Amino acid sequence: MSGILKSVLDHLDLERIETNLFRGTNVVMGSPRVFGGQVIGQALVAASRTVEDRAAHSLHGYFLRPGDLEHPIIYDVDRIRDGKSFTTRRVVAIQKGEAIFNMSISFQKAEEGLSHQIEMPDVPAPEDLPSETEMFKNMVDAGSPEMKQMLDRDRPIDMRRVEPYNYAKPEKRPPLQHTWLRAADPLPDDIYVHQCVLAYASDMGILSTCMLPHGKSFMSGMMTASLDHAMWFHRTFRADEWILFVQDSPTSGGARGFNRGSMYTRDGILVASVAQEGLIRQIS
């Protein structure tokens, strides 16, 4: 397993310090603040460790304050309800005595029921597309030294964009993008690991969708940050196999952009949906 993916999994493996209290440390991603996907994934891990025999089917979280890379994060789990079919947990992420994130997670006992889905779009296969690392090679010389460090690094998630995009020189285009993604190496056969890794990856790049029609990116004088994040798990999957992340943005306004995503397995099964609103404030 590659060093960076092992590091992510190690950071998702929280330390239990009390019955409902967990401690997590931070993955350095090149950004000056804690990556939002890490906090989502760790909060889901904390909640999952208080549940047995049922998997998460939805989560809804709010980012309250930027995370400090230099300090661990404490996750406080509130066991709101344990029902016959559904279990509900609320998790508050705390740093230096202040809440930086809170999330509600619902778990469900597996059962059969009516099933349908919208079809996956027809796009090129991931093997026919350059990796994100290759795509970023042309951008490493642009931006600040911190930006160069963030772009020129090993990545725990292998991402292949169907529509190439130059963050250093963005051009206006419709608010729609397709990205293949998977964990960079095989993962353990544990549904909670796969859910947490996909939750981690779901915050990678989705916020850029709402800036596409404006010809903007995080490298072009914008202050960007995830404000809230929701995810629904529809069916089982493996996060170490290719998943197509179809993203669109119906609207933006008030320095906020709204983004949606659908996640399909390679054989066209819709396994998860994502929604996120983010800050997109012009600062220069």
Tokens describing residue 228: 């809230």
In the residue annotation, 282 being an active-site residue is answered as: no
Tokens describing residue 226: 């995830």
Can you give the C-alpha Rg of the chain in angstroms? 18
Residue tagged active-site, from 104, 195, 202, 276: 276
In the residue annotation, 284 being an active-site residue is answered as: no
Residues 193, 198, 201: CA angle, nearest 5 degrees: 130
Distance CA 263, CA 269 (A): 8
Residue tagged active-site, from 202, 208, 226, 262: 226
Q: How many CA atoms lie within 13 A of 95 on its CB side?
A: 20
Q: Which of 203, 207, 210 minimizes the C-alpha distance to 272?
A: 203
Strand order, beta sheet including 98-108: 15-18, 21-24, 73-82, 86-95, 98-108, 55-63, 222-233, 270-282, 256-265, 243-253, 176-183, 157-161
Q: Which residue has the tokens 């309250």?
A: 64
Distance CA 56, CA 175 (A): 29
Residue type, 65: R
Residue tagged active-site, from 203, 240, 247, 252: 203
Catalytic residue numbers, as ranges: 203, 226, 276
